[in-house]
A and B are shown apart, each in its own frame.
Chain A
Amino acid sequence: MAAEPIILNPIGWGQFRLLGGWRRTLGIAGAYAGGSLLIMILLYRAMRAETTLANFARGSLTFFLLIQSAILVFVGTNAVKRAILRDFTTDMISSHRLTAMSGYTAALGYLTGPTSQCIALTFVNWLICTILAGIAGTPGSITDLLGPTMLFVIMGFLAAFCWSLQVLMALNTRGRISVVGAFVVLGVLSNLDVLWTLPGLALVVPTYLVSTLRRSSSGITPNDLPVITSMAAQLALSFTFFLAAARKYRRDDVAAFSGALGYCLVALCALIAAVGMARVPTPQIPFAPPIFYSNSVHSIATLIALALIAILPVANAARASAEWGRRKVKDAMFKGRRPRSFVEAVAISVILALGILLLVLGKSSLAMIEHRKDMMPHEQMVYCAVAFALSLLTIGGLLRYVYSASGKVGWVIVLYLVFAWCIPMFADFSLDALTNPAAMTESGRSMLFTSSPVGAWIASCTLLEAPVPQGLMIQALLAAGSLWLASRAKR
């Protein structure tokens, strides 16, 4: 893997030249530093009568930290997207693909080149923030000086996460989709604390950082476990996205998460989810609805998220199997190894996702569900696992069938989620409301509710009365139908 510095990386160098090279970068950094200094001096002179220098420096520090996070998350991510979009619209991507550059070199180039000016501004902001921290804190206090540095390191990890995800998304969509919008939504959700329903996600996005900052006036120290865990999760995901982007760069038809990388993503997400549930304490924020902090809600949300992520390796296996079959029919000389069937992919994904969850949670996994009187806790957990496996089998079979005729399967996944996950639950509620409106809130749910994987997880993790085995039988029938469909797939 090429770990070249920016100036040696071809795409990094090319993008840097397109942005104007050293002269433009240093010019922008200098103008930004000068402008910031001038504005601060003018503001301080105007406010001198009302505030002290230390207070003014503290306020300015917060302002520059906000500016910095915007530069890294929004400007940097957008610059990466624009660079890749340009390479697709000018078809320079084909020119790159013909060269001796590996996918790793190209992905590294897209991470470093378009963001070079953001990196320069980050350095300026770090200098400004360090000086401001020195003015604001006790003179000579090492904690005050290290405070901004630590925050910059944290933001650096977040930036690596955003940028690598953007490289991957842009290479997957020919530069059309930006992840900035998703980060805006997540940023808003971070403040609303709703993300605590999914502790793994809260660990990856800056929720922990925001809440830790809220709780602590003295800033973050390297000993703050949630922050360190959050940074490790971001780094691991960034690396996975980077590897996937390097694969996707090779050609548009190459799957980003094929084979082992897809399983790695599932395993990593399961690990992050489990760590989020077990090891990182959920902060008790006043006035936040208790549902955010319920273990069973965490379990249900985590199962939903992991099942959605596990669709990726299952879909890739279905696609590889369909392509292999097609090639075998059309190419007499083809000697490619038969890929793993999607059923094996389902088995591996289930073992990885649920195995890691159980392994990390250990005995505390029993505390993650509400214990029902009509079944043993282990029984509840087995039902969760069965629903997880059946949902993946059903979508895997459908995808294997559709992939044999077409490469476009996004609509199949959407339809499956709507019809198999959502509609049964809503139908059950609607029927209940129509037939027995008065007792609706007290009555249990029918097997229509548990025929949805989400319904089965809700019924297995909470005290809600519902016939889970019957619902699982319906899910098993659906999975069998889907497997039959897959066996009828065209070669």
Chain B
Amino acid sequence: MSIVLEAEHVRVEYGSFVALPDFQLSLSAGNLLGLIGPNGAGKTTSLKAIAGLLPMTAGRVRVLGETVEPGNTSALSRIGFAPDTPPMYDEMTVEDFLRFIGRAYRVGREMTEERIDYWLEQLWLSDRRTSKVKALSRGMKQRLTVARTLLPDPALVLLDEPAAGLDPAGRVQFRKMLGSLRDSGKALIVSSHILADLHEYCTHIGIMEGGKLRQLGTVAQVVHSQAENRCLYEITLARMVPDVQTAFGDMVGLTKLDIQGRQISFEYEHDDEAAAAILSKLLAAGLPIARFAPVDHDLEQAYLRTGIKQVD
């Protein structure tokens, strides 16, 4: 797969504050990277730096081999960037706004009209074609931003919190659309706090904190990282048992025990034999176990395992 994005040692400073000390990233066609992290982690800054909208004090960004810098319209026009607060001309109609974007990207007139039809249909805005932008709801504006970003057919798509204003049905369709964009060979970066969605459609995950990528890898790599062959087990008791803590007292290797009434969770070895052994020990200790289940690894646990407390 061809490399679409190369960000090497990117450093961004706001006065004396270093927002990105040394950001590095490489993305190939067909990669969909989900960026997660707390507020102020540097997700938006890194997206803006990649899009060439922020000056860098060090490093360089290349898109399809071309350096992204002010004035290099050839490189800039290969990037589609949808910020979390979409910039729009409120007084324009939806179709006029997209026509304006088509002209700005030098998409031919006929091709622009074709693409407007296509993306308005894909993003369920066809019936709003002649509405003024100011009359759209937040979710609709979010979808229009996505249409604006994809209309010029960029090779690299950067989406900052794209699903923030979408309703549940919209989110499902949006996930499908991102999947099809990924499969069509585009490279995408999505910054989002909806971790379950990211787990579903991303090929890669980057966890950011303090302007640094603390973890970067495929979804499977990130989900299983730091798990060290450990698994979370959940138990539901049939009834309340007094002094339940003593039943777990002498079990070697059991960690993160959490007892909330009849609900108990703990971490133990990720192995079927080990699970059977601990279940039999607990039954032998007289616990009335109604449900015993190992919990599959997911992105949320992986994120929490990093020790980053604040989730935006």
Contact = CB atoms under 8 A, between A and B. Distances in A.
Interface of A: 8, 10-11, 13-14, 17-18, 90-92, 94-103, 247, 250-251, 253-254, 326-327, 330-334
Contacts of B88: 90, 92
Nearest to A90: B87
Nearest to B87: A91
A98 B79 contact: yes
Nearest to A101: B104
Interface of B: 8-9, 11, 51-53, 55, 57-60, 70-71, 73-74, 76-77, 79-81, 83, 85, 87-92, 96, 100-101, 103-106, 148, 152
Residue among B55, B70, B83 with the most chain A CB within 10 A?
B70
A331 B9 contact: yes
B9 A333 contact: yes
B81 A98 contact: yes
A253 B69 CA distance: 12
A99 B105 contact: yes
A327 B11 CA distance: 10
B89 A18 contact: yes
Contact of A13 (B74, B76, B103): B103
Nearest to B56: A331
8 contacts: A10-B104, A14-B89, A17-B100, A94-B53, A99-B76, A101-B104, A326-B57, A333-B9
A331 B96 contact: no
B153 to A, nearest CB: 12
Contacts of A330: 11, 57-58
B89 A90 contact: yes
B92 A100 contact: no
Residue among B70, B76, B100, B104 with the most chain A CB within 10 A?
B104
Closest 10 CB pairs of A and B: A331-B58, A250-B70, A99-B104, A100-B77, A10-B104, A91-B87, A10-B103, A251-B70, A253-B55, A330-B58
Contacts of A103: 71
B112 to A, nearest CB: 11
A332 B60 CA distance: 11
A333 B10 CA distance: 11
B53 A18 contact: no
Contacts of A327: 57-58
Contacts of A95: 87, 101, 148
Contact of B73 (A90, A99, A333): A99
Contacts of B55: 251, 253
A100 B8 CA distance: 24
B267 to A, nearest CB: 43
A39 to B, nearest CB: 31
A221 to B, nearest CB: 42
A10 B97 CA distance: 11
Nearest to B76: A98
Residue among A92, A99, A254, A332 with the most chain B CB within 10 A?
A99
Contact of A99 (B90, B96, B101): B101
B71 A333 contact: no
Contacts of A250: 70-71
A95 B88 CA distance: 9
Contact of B92 (A17, A91, A97): A17
A94 B87 contact: yes
Nearest to A20: B91
Given A95-B101, A99-B152, A332-B9, 9 more contacts: A91-B87, A99-B101, A100-B104, A251-B52, A253-B55, A254-B70, A330-B57, A331-B11, A331-B57
Contacts of A247: 71
A330 B56 CA distance: 11
A412 to B, nearest CB: 17
Given A96-B104, A251-B53, A331 B59 contact: yes
B92 A18 contact: yes
A458 B70 CA distance: 45
Contacts of A97: 52-53, 70, 76
A38 B60 CA distance: 64
Contacts of B53: 94, 97-98, 251
Contacts of A332: 9
A102 B92 contact: no
A92 B89 contact: yes
Given A10-B100, A251-B70, A331-B11, A98 B92 contact: no
A327 B90 CA distance: 40
A13 B58 contact: no
B133 to A, nearest CB: 10
A378 to B, nearest CB: 46
Nearest to B107: A100
A102 B59 contact: no
Residue among A98, A331, A332 with the most chain B CB within 10 A?
A98
A92 B175 CA distance: 27
A13 B101 CA distance: 11
A94 B70 CA distance: 11
Given A17-B96, A100-B105, A100-B106, A91 B85 contact: yes
Contacts of B148: 95
B92 A99 contact: no
Nearest to A106: B104
Contacts of B73: 99-102
A326 B15 CA distance: 13
